[in-house]
Amino acid sequence: MSIAEIKKTKSNLIAWIEQLSDSNMLMVLDGLRNAKSDKDWWSDLSEKQKQHINEGIDDAENGRVISSSEFWTKLKDA
């Protein structure tokens, strides 16, 4: 990513954050900002969460995936 692209992305993110009114999204973003990058998040997950992630990886590795557009169509129809 070029310096110009980085500046444009930052500007777009700032504009988007300024218009946010969803407190849950703001909390997620604040959590990301305050996250410690030197800690391995995997160890904080429950065994059930790890199992779900590993199942998703297995699905992807074995071709059991759908496109994002198909996902959103299915979600809207549900």
Q: How confident is the model at residue 13, as a pLDDT?
A: 94
Whether residue 70 is predicted with pLDDT greater than 80 in this model: the reply is yes
Q: What is the pTM of this model?
A: 0.44
Dihedrals phi, psi of 38, to nearest 5 degrees: -85, -5
pLDDT at 34 (0 to 100)? 83
pLDDT average, residue stretch 47-70: 94
Summarised one tens digit per residue, pLDDT across range 24-48 is 999 999 888 887 667 777 888 999 9
b/e string for 39-75 if b means 16 or more Cβ within 10 A?
Answer: eeeeeeeeeeeeeeeeeeeeeeeeeeeeeeeeeeeee
User: Which pLDDT belongs to residue 31?
Assistant: 86
Do 9 and 1 form a contact (C-beta atoms < 8 A)?
yes
